[in-house]
Structure 1
Amino acid sequence: MAAPTAVITGASSGIGAATARRLAATGYRVVLTARRADRIEALAAELTAAGQQAVAYPLDVTDRAAVNAFAASLNAYPSIDVLVNNAGGALGADPVATADPDDWRTMYETNVLGTLHLTQALLPALTASADHPGAGAGGGAGTVVIVSSTAGHATYEGGAGYAAAKHGAHVLAETLRLELCGTPVRVIEIAPGMVKTEEFATTRFRGDQQKADAVYAGVAEPLTADDVADTIGWAVTRPSHVNVDLLVLRPRAQASNSKVHRES
């Protein structure tokens, strides 16, 4: 019986790469997408060498024509069972009065429109996966995962652009779940709080390592990419009739977006 297939966006590092490793170890064939071809090709080689099934496909999720071509390339697979919309990210931490509109536009296009592009392109295949008896742990049903953020559920100073984009991702997930009610596709939103990865904060502050380090200063144990990947893996592998609508996870030291315990 063919292995179920999971497509993961933003798989070149951080949560995306960790999720690819988690799902591959669970028995999924993983299709890795990201703009950095060298990163996802190296990850695919790593997983293949470990006896798992993985393929890399360089992709910019904001390019609709490229997304459509990618979706067409997946027709060779018996089924597409899981889509993990992880591509996203933050740029800047400026107040609304001085924020760069180009940063907001980039965040919206990646976090919201990128998720829209992939979901629209793969939804027919995800719906059809119910006809594949070996698809997924639940015995045949499509799953859309949207990795949002606690920023999409509560604002904080300097975070309006990112919060607006992630709120868009949250609303997309919530609305899609309503619209797909009665179909064999479930919609799962995973909203992490403070996650320390190798690139998120550094990218947000355009390589300013001092600012990036300050985000996690004094926080004994922020979440890791593996923590989030384990959560995604757990949600995806529930029986197909179980829908984890929204799962918010934070490190113990973070009570909210604006209240974090920091050790001196």
Structure 2
Amino acid sequence: MDLVSIIGTILAFLVVIVGTVLKGSSISALWNPGAFVIVFMGTLAAVMLQNSWQVLRRAAGMTRLIYQPPRHYPDDLVSRVVGWSEISRRQGLLGLESQIDSEADGFVRKGLQLLVDGSEPEAIRSVLEVELDTREQVDMAAAKVFEHAGIYSPTMGIIGAVLGLMAVMQHLSDPSELGHGIAAAFVSTIYGVSLANLLMLPMAARLKTLIGKQARMREILIEGLVSIAEGENPRQIESKLQGYLS
């Protein structure tokens, strides 16, 4: 679990709740069913209209990565690639066949299998880069779901506030209801702006960072596998890959 993300999420709720109390209002003033429906359901409707089911499902699955991000160890990857190159020099490329089943990552297994099959270096690069680009595009589309939600939710908040004020205008003859009605109308704005700036946009940015790190790891892997296929010296391969870690 990523403790920083968990603390950040908790603080996002506390900022609004504690701030409300410190400003002299009550916590109960933050709850408004009408505002909740307009902002949260309206944002969800807009996101659903914009994206396909596959993208939405991928976005939902990626939410856990914010709190359980994959661990990236580029130094370890470089060491493994150098180890594979040493095996290939001693035993030939077929010596790497025993390494395939021990790898949990399907991308790594595919790359090693291409090596064992004797594929040309450029063929290995081409196949793996296509898969890398495709996966990155799919993941970025899913991350943008949260970004789009962060764009739509403030607007939904404004819509909720306007609808609330419209309801207040219908009771101008009863001054005792005006204060309460206006306060309730602006709850929608709080929902919309808070949802965007404390949750959706930060989550989108975090996912994009994780996607970038994953892509960099795979770039290191591709370069290493191509170097092995070209028969480069293990020390040369290590020096080349160390450039990615600078």
Q: Scaled by the length of structure 2, what TM-score is found?
A: 0.27
Greater fraction of residues in helix: 2
Higher strand proportion (structure 1 or 2): 1
